Copies of this chain bind each other. A is one copy, B any other.
Amino acid sequence: METLSQRERDVLQSLIQIHIAMAVPVSSQAICRRHLFEVSPATVRNTMMDLEKKGFLHQPHTSAGREPTDKGYRYYVDSLMKREALTSEEKQLLRDKFHSHLKDRDTEYVFNEISRTIAQLSHQLGIVLFPRFEEGILQKLELVPLDRKRVLVIITVTSGLIKTITVEINRPSKFSNGKNKSFISRKKLKEACQLLNERLSGLSIKEIRQSIQRRLGYSPQRAPELFDFFIEEANTIFRFNSPRELFLEGRTNIMLQPEFEDHHRLAQLMEFLDKRESVISLLNRQARKQGVVVSIGSENALSQMQTCSLVTSTYNIGDLWGTVGMIGPTRMRYSKYISLLEYTAKLMNELLTEYYLA
């Protein structure tokens, strides 16, 4: 970590604060007016030149003020910024939203509303990624016959979260040799279910998907056709990384930011968001660390994100974890949004865990 003099730190901090608020290059005069009365603009200018040489600032053109670079923001976030706590109104709003939606029957809907709330409070794009269900440990698997050929698979993992999947057991080729219409008898289903639980519970969903063939290989006498089916379809049944696990809300917020008045830049970002898979993989890369993680501009590697920052936090439901976050231009109120996401994740931990594990 490069060291900066106190003056440099003061100037950098002041400049960033002003820039975040004003969204224009900041002049030496503006800094003096706002924060550093005691020194003259000329002095500030000298410091700004130093900071530019060190790569913390840059000048859009000769006669303009200066803006922070990604490196500048990074230093600010790591060493200068003071966290801004949420106001009690904001906290209350979050709690209220949580409570009113938590009782809703649709887990996915709850997550969608959380991302909406983040968007509302930050005026940026709110993101929630559903808990990584594939890493959950299978607690119980249930099979409920729906009709002649469809079965509802209910998967419960140890965090208490469940997913239901409808599967169609109607492969004309291998199983039922055509005659046996109502292929699935309740009895067979029950037997198969019991055996599946015996062999698979305690494993993670991902492990199951990868190793099911081996684990069910020496299938028993009874209901071998159901076992075959599960082996064959494991890649479908035990896969949970669909683009529908991602909730993005508040696209309008982001396009109202001055940096996205540039139509082309906006289009690039929107295209990126439209392809949800790439957003998910970005989040997966980001969320290796615990706590709140900030990726500023070029730190994101992805070209479409070069002018954006991504702030995320990890939440937990039992042993499952998911990601909650926001995207905005690099010029954003890190001091506030970090608190926002920290608090949101905390609330999710508390309330969702209570709800699902109690």
Contacts and interface: CB of A to CB of B under 8 A. Distances in A.
B166 A146 contact: no
A45 interface: no
- Of A152, A165, A236, which is in contact with the most chain B CB atoms at under 10 Å from its CB? A152
A160 B147 CA distance: 9
B271 A266 contact: no
B244 A109 contact: yes
A144 interface: yes
Given A164-B164, A251-B270, A255-B266, 13 more contacts: A103-B236, A104-B236, A105-B166, A105-B236, A142-B144, A144-B144, A146-B162, A150-B160, A162-B166, A249-B274, A251-B274, A252-B267, A261-B263
Majority-rule SS of A interface residues: mixed
A108 interface: yes
Copies of this chain present: 2
Interface string A145-158: 01101101010100
A233 B103 CA distance: 10
Contacts of A274: 249-252
A154 B154 CA distance: 11
Interface in A111-167: 112, 142, 144, 146-147, 149-150, 152, 154, 156, 160, 162, 164-167
A213 interface: no
7 contacts: A105-B236, A106-B242, A108-B244, A146-B154, A152-B154, A152-B164, A255-B267
Nearest to A156: B146
Nearest to A104: B236
B144 A105 contact: no
B154 A107 contact: no
